[in-house]
Amino acid sequence: MAFELFNTLSGTVQPVFASDGKALRFYCCGPTVYDYGHIGNFRTFLHVDVLRRTARLNGLGLHHVMNITDVDDKIIRNALAAGKPIGEYSAKYEKAFFEDLDALGIERPEDIARATDNIDGMVTLIQHLAAEDIAYQTEDGSWYFRIKRFPNYGQLSGKDLEGIQDGARIDSDEYEKDSARDFALWKSTKPGETSWETAIGTGRPGWHIECSAMAMKYLGDSFDLHAGGEDLMFPHHENEIAQSEACTHKQFARHWFHVRFLLVEGKKMSKSEGNFYTLRDLLLKGYRASAIRFLMLSVPYRHQLNFTFDGLTESTNAIDRLRTFTTRIKTGKWPEAAGESELAPVIAKAEADFIAALNNDLNTAEARAAIFDMLRAVNTAADHGKVTEADAKATLAVLDKFDSIFAVLVDDDAELTKAALAWAETEGRMADVSPEVLEKFGAGSLSDSDIDALVAERTLAKKQRNFPRADAIRNELLEKGILLEDSKDGVRWKRQ
């Protein structure tokens, strides 16, 4: 089955392929680095990550470009208020963004393009548009795109240009222009603001021109796929298409991929609702990064996700089941096959269903279900002594394929929570740390080597029939959130 995704531009599910026969060339709108990213932002980046991984699973090479918007109105305002240059101000939040990507297991793009490094390309693009009388300059020195000169405006979002009345702004800039329908390409600067002296005047870029200039610089005038959150469809992506295609007279991106919003506990996320969370907020509350990733991917990208704390608990339990199952299959002593395996067709079906679900418009819910069906079948067979060495190898191969997409089987949650705690100490955010996190990971908490030493002492105590000491060690560890699991293959421990 071919890898297919819904194309917002055509309104149909279509095959994903590399037009050059080598690598899927795609662009994803990245963050505006004026603050820490919230979980709504990361839902988009997580599903783009699954897109990347599924493309690779299908043998496609990757050339993924993501921009960093490191100059805009919010950055300028916040930097001025903080008394810092915009580069120094935005660098902090750019660093945090990539730390959060890493914590969520999101692969980094092949190319990262910062707006402030690409001013010349934006100016050149505006000059091309001006030469065709599509871009015009106002008295204050700003430049705008004349929407009426681009007849296909609205092709992505379905907006009717005639229905956009003068006075009904489609761009959030604060500058005068010929028509309220036109959008800013270049903004003249106010006193104290960051600016660049260029051939089109002193100023700074509008938001939309950044992505067109950087996408075409790295991927060419026309490329395979453009991704982003559904909130960017209009006006940002619509404006990207207009300014790019008006300049090159070529299709900008063949395929458009948009990820839906999430709700938090059934409501739109907002600070006024008290349900606005960054990744760091959740880690400091004691939730695992892996559970956040797994929950965010539990619902396919074209469906709205209701992010709940009950859902996080369920995701935590699901990951524990997966990790325990993986350890059982890896460490078990399985006999060689004496005949045909009863499990072989079950495992093969799970793998086929998993891949088919991903290739069918990234149906992550069905892909997960296929793996849990396999887990139940193999666990039941293992309980009855019906798993062979070949079955175990085949099961682990499917789990490897699963984790190449979902990336939750490696347990680095404790280290990520410790990193969040260290950040909270540096930033003066210790009031946001839950008592449970402080007890498990704060001063006086047990390191991995401490736990290993106590487990070894408990094992020795049991051999010496010193059961009171063995029980005391178990209880001590349990009080600190360390769960022990005795098995015929030894003792395993994990942080709750």
Cis peptide before 235 (omega within 30 of 0): yes
| 246-267 pLDDT per residue, tens | 999 999 999 999 999 999 999 9
Apex 135 CA angle, 133 and 137, nearest 5:
110
Using 50, 70 and 90 to split pLDDT, how confident is the model at 451?
Answer: confident
Q: Residue 46 pLDDT more than 70?
A: yes
Sequence-distant (6+) residues with CB within 8 A of 118 are 210, 213, 214, 217
Alpha helices in 11-85 (DSSP H): 39-57, 73-82
Which pLDDT does position 197 carry in this prediction? 97
Global pTM? Answer: 0.89
Q: Residue 480 pLDDT more than 80?
A: no
Between CA 301 and CA 281 the distance in angstroms is 23
Using 50, 70 and 90 to split pLDDT, how confident is the model at 168?
Answer: very low
Which pLDDT does position 297 carry in this prediction? 98
Which pLDDT does position 339 carry in this prediction? 75
Distances in Å between the alpha carbon of 364 and those of 176, 353, 358, 405? Answer: 46, 11, 6, 9
Of 210, 76, 202, nearest in space to 141 by CA: 202
Q: Residue 174 pLDDT more than 70?
A: no
Between CA 496 and CA 483 the distance in angstroms is 6
Share above pLDDT 90 across residues of the chain, in percent, rounded to a whole number:
80
Query: What are 468's two structure tokens?
Result: 């009171």
Q: Residue 18 pLDDT more than 50?
A: yes
Apex 71 CA angle, 124 and 423, nearest 5:
145
Q: Higher confidence at residue 380 or residue 456? A: 380
Q: Residue 433 pLDDT more than 80?
A: yes
Distances in Å between the alpha carbon of 86 and those of 64, 78, 119, 195? Answer: 26, 9, 15, 11
Which pLDDT does position 353 carry in this prediction? 98
Report the length, in residues, of the chain.
Answer: 496
Question: What backbone torsions phi and psi does residue 174 show, to the nearest 5 degrees?
Answer: -120, 35
Question: What backbone torsions phi and psi does residue 66 show, to the nearest 5 degrees?
Answer: -130, 135
Q: Higher confidence at residue 492 or residue 327? A: 327
Using 50, 70 and 90 to split pLDDT, how confident is the model at 166?
Answer: very low
Of 147, 168, 299, nearest in space to 238 by CA: 147
Residue 282 has a CB neighbour count (10 Å cut-off) of 19
User: With 0-12 CB in 10 A as exposed, 13-18 as middle and 19+ as buried, what is 431?
Assistant: exposed
Which pLDDT does position 494 carry in this prediction? 74
Using 50, 70 and 90 to split pLDDT, how confident is the model at 341?
Answer: confident
Rg (C-alpha) for the chain, rounded Å, is 27
Which pLDDT does position 493 carry in this prediction? 79
Between CA 3 and CA 405 the distance in angstroms is 14
Sequence-distant (6+) residues with CB within 8 A of 370 are 349, 350, 351, 353, 354, 357
**CATH 1.10.730.10 residue ranges in the chain?**
267-406
Which pLDDT does position 58 carry in this prediction? 97
Torsion of CA 426, 432, 433, 436, to 10 degrees: 180
Mean pLDDT of the region 475-492: 76
Which pLDDT does position 340 carry in this prediction? 79
Which pLDDT does position 495 carry in this prediction? 65
Percentages (nearest 5) of helix, strand, coil residues in the chain = 50, 15, 35
Mean pLDDT of the region 194-209: 96
Which segment of 99-113, 131-145, 154-168, 275-289 scores lowest on mean pLDDT? 154-168
**CATH 3.40.50.620 residue ranges in the chain?**
18-259
Of 286, 440, 299, nearest in space to 364 by CA: 299
CATH class of domain segment(s) 18-259: alpha beta
Q: Residue 75 pLDDT more than 60?
A: yes
Using 50, 70 and 90 to split pLDDT, how confident is the model at 489?
Answer: low
Mean pLDDT of the region 163-181: 50
Largest CA distance in the chain: 90
Which pLDDT does position 167 carry in this prediction? 36
Between CA 297 and CA 4 the distance in angstroms is 18
| Residues 208 and 252: beta-carbon distance below 8 Å | no
Q: Identify any residues that bridge with 137 across adjacent strands, giving them in sequence order.
A: 143
Residue 356 has a CB neighbour count (10 Å cut-off) of 14
| 294-316 pLDDT per residue, tens | 999 999 999 999 999 999 999 99
The mean pLDDT of the chain is 92
CATH class of domain segment(s) 267-406: mainly alpha
Q: Identify any residues that bridge with 6 across adjacent strands, giving them in sequence order.
A: 13
Which segment of 126-135, 428-437, 487-496 scores lowest on mean pLDDT? 487-496
Mean pLDDT of the region 17-22: 96
Q: Identify any residues that bridge with 183 across adjacent strands, giving them in sequence order.
A: 145
